[in-house]
Amino acid sequence: MTEAIEEAISTRVGLSLSLAPLGDVRGNLAATLGESLGGVLAMFYPPTLCKKANIVVTELVQNVIENVTDSTSEMRLDVKIDSDALQVEVTNKATAEQFEAVKDRVEKLSASDDPKRLFAETLRARRMQRLRGGLGLLRLVSENRFRLSARYAGERLTMQAIFSLRGA
């Protein structure tokens, strides 16, 4: 398990990407962005951190792609790494109802004192019902130790995921 990144991090990287309209997306955007970012970060950071970056971008962007409400809208991806943390934000147009649903899930995750058990129970329940999706955020917390938050302004939902490099 990689609770903290043991190697000293001195390189600072910030990357931003905006993409519109989302209706133009062809192919596996989440995978392409995740792999591309992982490739860039591998020049500077240990593999465990690059994998986390790959996973968080893949899961958050996949959530956006699977829940597009307006094909003319924009998605924005912001990634920042310094000696303290890996921070990823993904922003897209969403309804207030979508935000409430995401906020509920994030709050439930944050309140859980055993995210791994919550993940296992949710996974089994959703598999029984063959429900798609709904596991990405859980995985980010349970498996990868990200702290999640969600905010909403001007019909835009921003998901933020932070992994502390100081093991906190």
Partner 1 sequence: MNVLTYGEIMDGGASVFHCVAREDEGTFTLTLSGVVRIDNPYRHLANLLQDLREMLPKRPISRSVLDFSELEFCNSNGFYVIMDIVEIVYTSVPGPVLVRRLQEDDWQQETLPILLNLDEESIAARTTFEDVREL
**Distance of alpha carbon 145 from alpha carbon 115, whole angstroms:** 9
- Give the nearer residue to partner 1 in terms of CB position, either 21 or 133: 133
Residues 148 and 79: beta-carbon distance below 8 Å? no
Separation in Å, CA 139 to CA 13, 42, 108, 153: 24, 22, 13, 26
Query: Which of 59, 79, 106, 165 lies at the binding interface for partner 1 (CB under 8 A)?
Result: 59
Nearest by Cα to 93 from 150, 155, 152, 151: 155
Q: Which helix (H) or strand (E) holds 153?
A: strand 147-153
Q: Which of 41, 50, 55, 162 binds partner 1 (CB under 8 A)?
A: 55
Among 97, 132, 153, 154, binds partner 1 (CB under 8 A): 132
Listed ranges 79-87, 91-99, 127-135, 148-156: which one lies at the site for partner 1 (CB under 8 A): 127-135
**Which residues contact partner 1 by CB under 8 A?**
1-2, 27-28, 30-31, 34, 47-48, 51-52, 54-55, 58-59, 62, 116, 119-120, 123, 127, 130, 132-133, 135-136, 139, 142-144
